[in-house]
Amino acid sequence: RPAMSIKRGHSESETATTALGEGQANGSSNGAVLSHHTQANARPYGTYQEAHDALLSLRGACSESEILETGQRALLSACASELPSAVRQMGVRLAMQLCAHPETDTVQAIEGLVRALDTAEPSVRCEIYQALVGIHELKGVMGTPHIPEGTRRALDGAVKRDLNHSQHHLRSASLLVLSAVQGTASDTAIEAMCRYCSDSHPKVRQAALGGILQQHMMGVGLAVEMYDDFVVATKDDFEQVRLVAMELVWAISSSWPEHPVVIQQHGTIEIIRLLDDAFVKLCDMVNDSSVVVRQRACAILGRFTEVSSRFLAQTFSKQVMSHLRRFVPRGRGYAGRNRGVRAGQAAIPTPKGDADVESEEFKLLDSGAAGAFVHGLEDEYQEVRDAAIESITELSFASAEFSAKAVDFLVDMFNDSSDRVRLCAIRALVAIGRRAPLQLTEEQLSIALSAMRDASASVRRGVYNVLSVASLAKGEWLQRLMDDVRGCLERHSEDQLDVYRALASLGRTHTQLIDASFVRTLLDISEHYLNREARIDDPVYAGNVILIMNTARGTRQRLATVLPDYVFSHLPYLRDKYPGCLPSNIADSVPEHLAFVRQMLDRPQTDPSIAKLSLEDARTSQSVAFGHLQELLSQAQAANRSPTLPSLLDRRLREFEQLNKSNDTRVANSNSGHKAVANYALQVRHALRIQELFNSEAWRQSEIISLAAKIMYGAYELESRFLGLDPRCLLALAYLRVFAHTVWLLAHATAQHDPKLVERMHGELELRIQRVSSALHARSVEAPELDALVASLGSKGSVDGTTNNTSLPNSALMQMALDFRPLAFAPRSHLQHTVARLAAAPSLTRRAVEFNHLFPLNLSLSASLEWVVRREDVLVALRLPEQQAVVLHPPPSSLNPLCPYHWALEWDDIPASLPLGSGESTAINLTIAQRQKADIPWSDSFIVAGNALPETYRIGDYYKANANPALLHIRIEISNKPHTVAVNPVEFKPLSSTYTRG
């Protein structure tokens, strides 16, 4: 074996082999790669600052030789007993960081760290244990046969010695590495950890309980005898211990739900299930002094879907119910509360709120656990209230009786001071109501109607959804609701469509309440006089008609004798104006003498802006719109363009987009060539807007940069997502990128940014123009404005900056930008459009995914990819809560071919490292993209980013970014909409980070 250790006299570091980069005895490939870099003069780090600087340097790009040298010095520092403890600890951290490198020999790194345990001080040994746990979590090598038996025995012996050490942080660190030493899932490790659950120090107790929980999550069963120890731990003085203990109480109760638990008090014995007893114990944790514990307790309660109904009902009552009390027989002469202890003696009064120790009954449920959800909903912290609402929602699905009681408390949360809590309560009620209609009382209806005056639009929309799944018992209540709807439509006209959809649902579920008298009162119809025709644009009148017309078919036919004829004549307009708010069979309710109205309702809707066309008409309309776009593009290529061309192009683009959105999907997806032309027309419209800005007296630099970024990205998107473009179309897209590069450079040159930056961008623009010009000449395509620019770009003075934005320099670049004419773009009709279709998400996400910012969160994504040529180009982009974008490559095993150029993406462990946020619920957006190779990687990547280069920009960072390989490609989104995952931060610290070093 090629040793890389450094001889340093008789120091203990002589025994440590700097294994990072060494090959195994059988010729490991990783070791072979770096073995020829052996440094004979490697020495340990002398000071803490030197080692710290080396750790910081690992964040940048390092060569293999630098990694090898750093690894050698790191292990030498860890083993050198003459060095200070701080330096040795930093050496251990360096070794752990280097193990993440693919060229590092992890096995020999572990051997070196284990040898360093012999001479290390307690603080250094703690650091080594932490490093071994980190390496094991990263590469999972501790339980594999690659670790030599001697190293395993040495580590096992060291851990056993340190488990009995007097310093608590060393015992805690030993427990963390114990499971890795004993195996991935070991019963022996759990037995050892159980002995430390009652340790004198809370950090050790937390590490022991956390290790047991981790082993259980790996598949090791928990003995039912541990239950009492876990319950005792829930009363621990240390917050982190109580948090882990609650998780273990749930874990063991779910493993042994039917195990009998004996409750014995005052000579009376009661037997209940372990699941019920665990539920009672966790209910009591809702009154904990720590807000984090209370939040976690409320969240865990939602998992007890199989708990007995008698305990479940008690969570909404602060007084212990009679069925949870047991009579205790007393001897002769006993007198209860305030009855006198013995004859002739005065009774000692007992305060009403205190426990009565002389009561003739004992309770299966502690008084503190009674009304657990009431306490959670009344908590002063909104995080606790949110968790209580989420758990109530989950438990409501398991018990109809509990659901009926929960509605009253959830409706009362409409008065909460927090918008977030009100929205959470609304989502809970909607989820419950979609399973069974909400039976609202008059008081609950009043609270819901008052919430329609909320200043938050999201809350108001949520209230409308609640009303749409509600059930009212009396017609007076429905009339009151319509009166409040009238005021809501007057105050918030933007909520009109949401209100109408709620009224349509109410009409379908309250047919029995909408009779002739109700309709006359609602529409103000007289039985004896002629009625004035209502205004068809009156929003209140439209809502009333929608409510009435959504009743059952038989009810509508009976009401036809009550309704005036003008109501039926308004139905075609209302159906087209508010799609989805009237039933599809509405024509059956129209009286026979209004045959023309029936014909209008039976006829397909013909307005393309608001309704779906027939398949033949849709294809005809799309062909007409496409012809208009081609005509306008021809005008854009002419020398003399009409000044109205930009506005006409905007109008035709909107028409074409509306047709694709509203019509049959067979039409929208039938001709990808039309889509490509429409996308090209959109980029031409951006170019026309830039020319308008250049021609104006005062133009905005930021808008020009933004439009240039859109053109550059749009040209690459067309080339990436439309397969089958002919060379002339690709040349037209390359010419668009020349224009985007030119205007971007002009915008920055006139703002007097860094001259080196402008010079480099100018040189790459010259290279781009020469390439495109050669390609144009090869295909005999005329572009006179580009030909005039080729000679001028030889001089770097063609881009002369100026501080006066109102009088731009008369340069060749500016002339080219003003004279730009797009090339002809006429693709073949049989193009293939690249698209990623994400799997449909659940209709309502009730519980957010919990995460801790110190641990990566594993997400899942399913999608079907169509017309993707190379699997290696597929990317998954994550938009984190702090607007940070993370791009990941899916593993090859997650992409399975369905047919040529079609793939199925199934990725269940997408790592998402979330930052420490504000503690409020947020969301992560996942999108699918593919890479497109850039023509000029450095410039194009920066232009697409749309960076306006503020004055404080450090140009050194900009040039350093040139080494980033991601700049070689442009990321093109291919998913039509993102997949959103709601996440909820967990505030308590994870188990492995509780140890305080040194």
What does the alpha-carbon distance between residue 992 and residue 176 come to, in Å, rounded to a whole number?
Answer: 7
End-to-end CA distance of the chain: 35
List, in sequence order, every beta strand (DSSP E) within 712-802. Answer: 722-723
- pLDDT above 70: residue 901: yes
Q: What is the DSSP string of 57-87?
A: HTTS---HHHHHHHHHHHHHHHH-TTS-HHH
Question: Minimal CA–CA distance to 852: which of 899, 900, 916?
Answer: 916
Residue 512 has φ and ψ, to the nearest 5°, of -70, -20
- What integer pLDDT is reported at residue 3 of this predicted model? 33
Q: 8 pLDDT band (50/70/90 cuts)?
A: very low
- Mean pLDDT for 904-932 is 80
- pLDDT tens digits for range 961-975: 444 555 578 899 998
Angle between helices 442-451 and 400-412 (to 10 degrees): 50
Q: Give me the residue label for tokens 């008609």.
A: 545
- pLDDT tens digits for range 96-116: 877 777 667 788 788 888 888
Q: What residues have CB less than 8 Å from 718, skipping those under 6 apart?
A: 676, 679, 680, 683, 725, 733
The amino acid occupying position 936 is I
Q: Is the dihedral of CA 275, 276, 281, 286 positive or negative?
A: positive
- pLDDT above 70: residue 296: yes
- pLDDT above 60: residue 840: no
Q: 442 pLDDT band (50/70/90 cuts)?
A: very high
Question: Is residue 641 within 8 Å of residue 635, measured between CB atoms?
Answer: yes
Least confident span in 140-144, 410-414, 596-600, 981-985:
140-144
Question: Is residue 73 within 8 Å of residue 45, measured between CB atoms?
Answer: yes
What does the alpha-carbon distance between residue 716 and residue 834 come to, in Å, rounded to a whole number?
Answer: 13
Averaged pLDDT of the chain: 78
- pLDDT above 60: residue 4: no
β-pairing verdict for 832-833 and 260-265 = unpaired
What does the alpha-carbon distance between residue 17 and residue 108 come to, in Å, rounded to a whole number?
Answer: 8
Q: Please return the burial class of 424, using the count of CB atoms within 10 Å of its CB with bins 0-12, 13-18 and 19+.
A: buried
Helix, strand or coil, per DSSP, at residue 851: strand
Q: 199 pLDDT band (50/70/90 cuts)?
A: confident
- pLDDT tens digits for range 755-812: 666 777 778 888 888 888 888 888 777 777 677 666 655 444 444 433 333 333 446 7
What does the alpha-carbon distance between residue 686 and residue 953 come to, in Å, rounded to a whole number?
Answer: 27
In whole angstroms, what separates CA 399 from the centre of its chain? Answer: 30
Q: 61 pLDDT band (50/70/90 cuts)?
A: low
- What integer pLDDT is reported at residue 264 of this predicted model? 74
What does the alpha-carbon distance between residue 1 and residue 27 come to, in Å, rounded to a whole number?
Answer: 9
What does the alpha-carbon distance between residue 914 and residue 105 come to, in Å, rounded to a whole number?
Answer: 29
Question: Minimal CA–CA distance to 385: which of 289, 281, 299?
Answer: 299
Q: By 3-state DSSP, what share of the chain in percent is helix, strand and coil, each rounded to 5?
A: 55, 10, 35
The amino acid occupying position 573 is Y
What does the alpha-carbon distance between residue 293 and residue 379 come to, in Å, rounded to a whole number?
Answer: 12
- pLDDT above 50: residue 712: yes
* Backbone torsion region of residue 219, taken as left when φ is above 0, otherwise alpha when ψ lies between -120 and 50, otherwise beta: left
What does the alpha-carbon distance between residue 117 and residue 359 come to, in Å, rounded to a whole number?
Answer: 61
Least confident span in 9-18, 177-186, 577-586:
9-18
- pLDDT above 60: residue 348: no
What does the alpha-carbon distance between residue 74 and residue 45 come to, in Å, rounded to a whole number?
Answer: 7
- What integer pLDDT is reported at residue 11 of this predicted model? 36
Token pair recorded at residue 151: 């190293």
- pLDDT tens digits for range 844-891: 344 567 766 666 788 888 999 999 998 889 999 988 776 677 888 898
Token pair recorded at residue 718: 């067309």
In 10 A of CB 591, how many CB atoms?
14
Q: What residues have CB less than 8 Å from 212, skipping those under 6 apart?
A: 190, 193, 194, 197, 222, 226, 248
Q: Give me the residue label for tokens 């998780």.
A: 247
Q: 702 pLDDT band (50/70/90 cuts)?
A: confident
- Mean pLDDT for 625-652 is 83
Q: Please tell me the total number of residues recorded for the chain in this structure.
A: 998
- Residue 908 DSSP label: E
- What integer pLDDT is reported at residue 807 of this predicted model? 33
- pLDDT tens digits for range 462-478: 999 999 999 999 999 99
Question: Minimal CA–CA distance to 940: which of 964, 970, 983, 961?
Answer: 970
Q: Give me the residue label for tokens 């950890």.
A: 193
- pLDDT above 90: residue 278: yes
Token pair recorded at residue 137: 């979590």
Question: Minimal CA–CA distance to 732: which of 671, 790, 687, 798?
Answer: 687
Cα 438 to Cα 90, 245, 385, distances in angstroms: 61, 37, 21
Q: Percent of the chain beyond pLDDT 90?
A: 28
Q: 168 pLDDT band (50/70/90 cuts)?
A: confident
- What integer pLDDT is reported at residue 929 of this predicted model? 93
Q: 56 pLDDT band (50/70/90 cuts)?
A: confident
- pLDDT above 60: residue 670: no
Biggest alpha carbon–alpha carbon distance for the chain:
123
- pLDDT above 90: residue 149: no
Q: 598 pLDDT band (50/70/90 cuts)?
A: confident
What does the alpha-carbon distance between residue 601 and residue 585 come to, in Å, rounded to a whole number?
Answer: 9
- What integer pLDDT is reported at residue 803 of this predicted model? 34
* Backbone torsion region of residue 344, taken as left when φ is above 0, otherwise alpha when ψ lies between -120 and 50, otherwise beta: left
Q: Considering the domain 257-325+363-436 in this protein, what is its CATH number? A: 1.25.10.10
What does the alpha-carbon distance between residue 131 and residue 125 come to, in Å, rounded to a whole number?
Answer: 10
- What integer pLDDT is reported at residue 102 of this predicted model? 67
- What integer pLDDT is reported at residue 860 of this predicted model? 87
Q: Which residues pair with 885 in a beta bridge?
A: 879
Cα 58 to Cα 102, 340, 453, 887, 956, distances in angstroms: 14, 79, 56, 21, 19
Q: What residues have CB less than 8 Å from 135, skipping those under 6 apart?
A: 96, 99, 106, 109, 110, 141, 142
Q: What is the DSSP string of 446-479?
A: HHHHHHTT-S-HHHHHHHHHHHHTEE-S-HHHHH
What does the alpha-carbon distance between residue 788 and residue 800 come to, in Å, rounded to a whole number?
Answer: 18
Domain residue ranges of the chain, discontinuous segments joined by +:
257-325+363-436, 438-602, 671-819, 834-985
